[in-house]
Homo-oligomer: A and B are copies of this chain.
Amino acid sequence: MRFEEIKAGAVIEGGRRTVTEAEIIEFASRYDPQWFHTDPIRARDSRWNGLIASGWLTCSIAMELAVKSVLADSESIGSPGIEQLKWLNPVRPGDELALRIEVMESRTSRSGSVGIVKWRWILTTQAGVAVLDLIATSLFQRE
C-alpha cells in the first residue's frame, strides 16, 4: 500500500495467523524467560491456567501482519514510537490472531519530505477477544 492510500478514517484488515506453543516458548526462552511464558506445567496450575505469550511476541506478530498487509510495498522508513500499548488479554497456544488497523491521522511533514501516519492497531483472537491495542506513529519517505 502506498502512503497516499493510507487516509484518515480508513480501516485495514491486516490478515491473521495462528500462534503455536512452540513459538511462544521459543520466543520467550530467548527474550522473556518468565515461567508463565516458558513452562507449560507450572503455568497450568497458576492464575493463568496455561501458557501465555510474551507481550513482545504479541507485538511482533502484529508487526508481521502489518508488514504483510500494508508496509511491505509502501515507502515505510520506520517509526519513532508508540503512544499507548495495552496487552488486554493473554494470548494462548493455538490462538488465531487477526489484525485490524484504524488510520487516525495521515499528513505530510512541513518540508514535504516525510509522510506521517498515526494509526491504531488492534489484535483479536478467533473468539473476538482483543489482546493488543496500540497507537503507533509510522513514517514514510516522500520524494
Q: Are B56 and A79 in contact, with the CB atoms below 8 A?
A: no
Interfacial residues of chain A within 56-71, with CB under 8 A of chain B in the complex: 56, 59-61, 63-64, 67, 71
Q: Are A82 and B85 in contact, with the CB atoms below 8 A?
A: yes
| Copies of this chain present | 2
- CA of A31 to CA of B31, assembled, Å: 14
Q: Is A115 an interface residue (CB 8 A)?
A: no
- CA of A33 to CA of B64, assembled, Å: 7
Q: Is A72 an interface residue (CB 8 A)?
A: yes
Interfacial residues of chain A within 62-95, with CB under 8 A of chain B in the complex: 63-64, 67, 71-72, 76-88
Q: Is A54 an interface residue (CB 8 A)?
A: yes
Interface residues of A (CB under 8 A from B): 27, 30-34, 36, 47-48, 52, 54-56, 59-61, 63-64, 67, 71-72, 76-88, 141
